[in-house]
Structure 1
Amino acid sequence: MQFDVIVVGGSYAGMAAALQVARARRRIMVIDAGLRRNRFARHSHGFLSRDGHEPERIAAEAREQLLAYPNVAWTEGRAESAEQVDGGFRIATEAGESFEGRRLVLALGVVDRLPDVPGLAERWGRSVFHCPYCHGYELGGGPLGVLATGPAAMHQALLIPEWGPTTLFTNGAFSPGDEELAQLAARGVSVEAVPVDGIAGHADVHLADSRTIALAGLFTVSTTRPASPLAEELGCAHEEGPLGPFIRTDAMKQTSIPGAFACGDVARATGTVSLAVGDGALTGAAVHRSLLLG
């Protein structure tokens, strides 16, 4: 059976795209590996009407609503390969299944690469974060930190004081110049140049000189990569963003490969749940339009 649209990735962007196409009564296949980027977080914030809800609850409700449409099929598993065929695209899964669709939506998501600091990965999404808009309010105005991974730490360090007194841990990854030090001082940011040995407790930063700085929360800039190589296999053009590569799309979310669209974190320089849902909704409408008008 050939589907009108295959969506690879059943998280927020993928489901939002599929929903628009489903409501146009088109046949859709969603292929999902079940690895949402925010699966490590206890709560999701900043998404209107779902502020403070558990991420898995939001995703489960969205899937239930999507699968209420009889023209939507769902396959759990990883999409292993993608190729162009006459009339569209063929996707093969790790389970050996193969599906064909006239249009393809790549909602692949991204993988975060974290600083190699002992104890940090275990606290990712719990007391170590990347987005203050998503998690800053809940830290109650307590002492906060920014762990540098490069020059992007400067932007974070100037932003984070909105949510609490802030210390920038340069950790050998970033050395602010005189002008930058003046900017940090104007925002009340302390700069700590002693290397970080590890993170313990809730968010206690252990330094190489045996000091420990207890924090309400720690922020860092992760670098990202697409969670799947499918876009690269198809030959989709990419752009290099401040955090890592992402799929290049036009204003209507079509990639450099005609008929293949991309949305969500894999097609943006940065993202949140709200942005992913909006991105997916735009993509779904654009995909349906392309089925009608070419």
Structure 2
Amino acid sequence: MEDVIIIGGSFAGLTAAMQLGRARRKVTVLDTGLNRNRFAGHAHNIFGHDGTPPGALLERARQQVAAYPSVTLINEAATALSGAPDAFSVATATGDSLSGRRIILSYGITDEMPAIPGFAESWGKTVVHCPFCHGYEVAGKPWGVLYSSPMSLHGPVLYANWTDDITLILDGHAIPDDERARLEQRGVRIIAEKLAAIEETSGVLRAVTLADGRSVELSALFAHPRNRPSAGLHGQLGLDMKDTPTGTMVAVGDMQATSRPGIFAAGDLTTPMHSVTFATNSGSLAAMGALQSMMV
């Protein structure tokens, strides 16, 4: 029996695995290899690793985690999870079954790309969600913001740290008059029409096409598409969830504990603030939470 089974082996899951491996606990990590940021060419704002491709970061992390003899990495999907503390059972897509004392869910989220030509092709390159992760490389250039929720109205204020050339595309939505006045006073251009297409070459944005046929030159488009958990195990378990501006997340308490005893969660699955740094922090906390729960 494993001490901890970690479902999801990206930044949160591998951080948890390393911490538990260093505590000499027996750990198995199940992972499909589909990290959310695989579309980005480089990962930024990561202390000591700024500009490193996400795949390279994860490959190096896997090598380091695999060096701990009590940790096993398996390229496999988990399909079912049941049981209770000290007697959890995880079924895999190949029909295998694993037993574990504790569980850490770190399978992340999947972004649901809108049916806009060029959007998916540019996602993670010049159609992005985080200015701290992607803004520096396009600073001083024309940026677009695609409205998806009232949260989008806060973006232009933050983005002014990088550029004073900002266009808010409402995509057919209406906003309050006072919000419009506030943004226009800051120099934000506001376009009401729906976004029809992204004009790009190999993911590099040149302009966007609106539903009325107009073309607006942009170097980056900040967008927050809807997202969903990348697996359904939280639903099987009936875990408490919380709404976010773009989807849902697993509700966690102290040390990343979920609403079900013995099950912890970490990474993008548990926060509306998505970055490698947040993921590794929550993975470390989940590992400590799982470890402490086995010591009482």
Moved over 6 A (4+): none
Task: Please give the alpha-carbon distance, in whole angstroms, between the structure 2 residues aligned to 1:14 and 1:138.
Answer: 29
The equivalent of 1:169 in structure 2 is 169
1:206-229: per-residue Cα shift (whole Å, max 9, x none)? 123322112111111122211000
Q: Specify the alignment match of 2:265 in structure 1.
A: 262
Q: Deviations over 1:62-103 (max 9, x none)?
A: 111100000001111111110115732111110111101000
Q: Is the 8 A contact 1:161 1:187 kept in 2?
A: no
Q: Counterparts of 2:85 and 2:166 in 1: how far apart (Å)?
A: 56
Superposition TM-score, scaled by structure 2 size: 0.95
1:10-159 alignment, distance < 5 Å: 10-85=9-84, 87-159=86-158
Task: Return the alpha-carbon distance in structure 1 between the equivalents of residues 26 and 194 of structure 2.
Answer: 55
CA deviations 1:140-182 (Å, max 9, x no partner) are 310000111222221223322322210001111x322221012
In the alignment, structure 2 segments of 5+ residues that lack a partner are none
SS at match of 1:199: strand
Q: Verify the 8 A CA contact 1:152 1:221 in the aligned structure 2.
A: no
Work out whether 1:243 is the aligned partner of 2:234.
no
Could you tell me which runs of 5 or more consecutive residues in structure 1 were left unpaired when the two chains were aligned. none
AA in 1 matched with 2:135: G
> Residue type matched to 1:250 in 2?
G
Shift of 1:114: 2.9
- Using a 3 Å threshold, how does the CA distance of structure 1 residues 155 and 114 change in structure 2: closer, same or farther? farther
Please list, as runs of the form range in 1=range in 2, the aligned pairs for 1:187-266 lying within 5 A after superposition. Answer: 187-201=186-200, 202-203=204-205, 204-266=207-269
Letter in 2 for 1:88: A
Amino acid at match of 2:79: E
Identity of aligned residues (%): 39
Calculate the aligned-residue CA RMSD, in Å. Answer: 1.3
TM-aligned CA deviation for residue 195 of structure 1: 2.3
**Aligned equivalents of 2:44 and 2:265: distance in 1?**
24
Q: How many residues align?
A: 291
What does the per-residue CA deviation read over 1:37-79, in whole Å, with 9 as the maximum and x for residues that have no partner? 0000000011111111100011111111100000001111111
Task: Give runs of aligned pairs for residues 269-284 of structure 1, distance below 5 A.
Answer: 269-284=272-287
Contact preservation (8 Å) 2:77, 2:93: yes
